[in-house]
Amino acid sequence: MPQQIDPLVESLGLSMWRVQRRITSQMSLHKEMGLTVPQFHLLHIIAQEKQARVIQLAEKLEVKSSAVTVMLDRLELLELITRVPDENDRRAVSVTLTTKGEELLKEAHYRSLLLLTEHLSILKPEELKNFAEYYTLLEKQER
């Protein structure tokens, strides 16, 4: 027989999901820039990798290289990324963010923090501290 689930846990899970969806939908900088969510996510991955090959990006996004190439075409048209031929392998291309791409991600990060600040403003300082500690514990548990 399956383990009995505490109704409070179920309620909390549903609330977390709803809040996450609302916050995510309000982070619309990608829409303002004419980007899809996957393209925006791809920019984040490129920023983390600093310089990445298409095959690496495809693996991280769990899509085919051809799908990444299409997204990169769009990002290149918007001058958010640049492609550089690999010196050691003429078939390979490295992808990096342009200054415009870096600025876009900085703006997105800033806006997301403002939005989180707004959503979390209902908590008192001590509650916010406890909330942050709980989430840190949950995050460590997943590692």
For the stretch 18-48, pLDDT in tens is 888 887 777 666 677 777 778 888 999 999 9
Give the CA radius of gyration of the chain: 19
Is residue 60 in some structural domain?
Answer: yes
Return the exposure string of 80-97: e unless at least 16 CB atoms fall within 10 Å of the residue's CB, then b.
Answer: bbbeeeeeeeeeebbbbb
**What's the CATH code of the domain at 34?**
1.10.10.10
Is residue 17 in some structural domain?
Answer: no
Mean residue pLDDT across the chain: 86
The pLDDT of residue 119 is 86
Is residue 9 in some structural domain?
Answer: no
Segment 109-118 mean pLDDT: 84
Is residue 15 in some structural domain?
Answer: no
Is residue 7 in some structural domain?
Answer: no
Segment 48-72 mean pLDDT: 89
Is residue 93 in some structural domain?
Answer: yes
Query: Is residue 89's pLDDT more than 80?
Result: no
User: What three-state secondary structure class fits 3?
Assistant: coil
Task: Residue 111: give the domain boundaries.
Answer: 27-142
The pLDDT of residue 142 is 65
Nearest to 43 by CA among 106, 111, 101: 101
Query: Is residue 73's pLDDT more than 80?
Result: yes
Taking the C-alpha atoms of residue 9 and residue 1, their distance in angstroms, rounded to an integer, is 19
Is residue 130 in some structural domain?
Answer: yes
Query: Is residue 5's pLDDT more than 70?
Result: yes
Is residue 65 in some structural domain?
Answer: yes
Q: 118, 136 in Cβ contact below 8 A?
A: no
Taking the C-alpha atoms of residue 46 and residue 27, their distance in angstroms, rounded to an integer, is 19
Q: Considering its fold, how many domains does the chain have in total?
A: 1
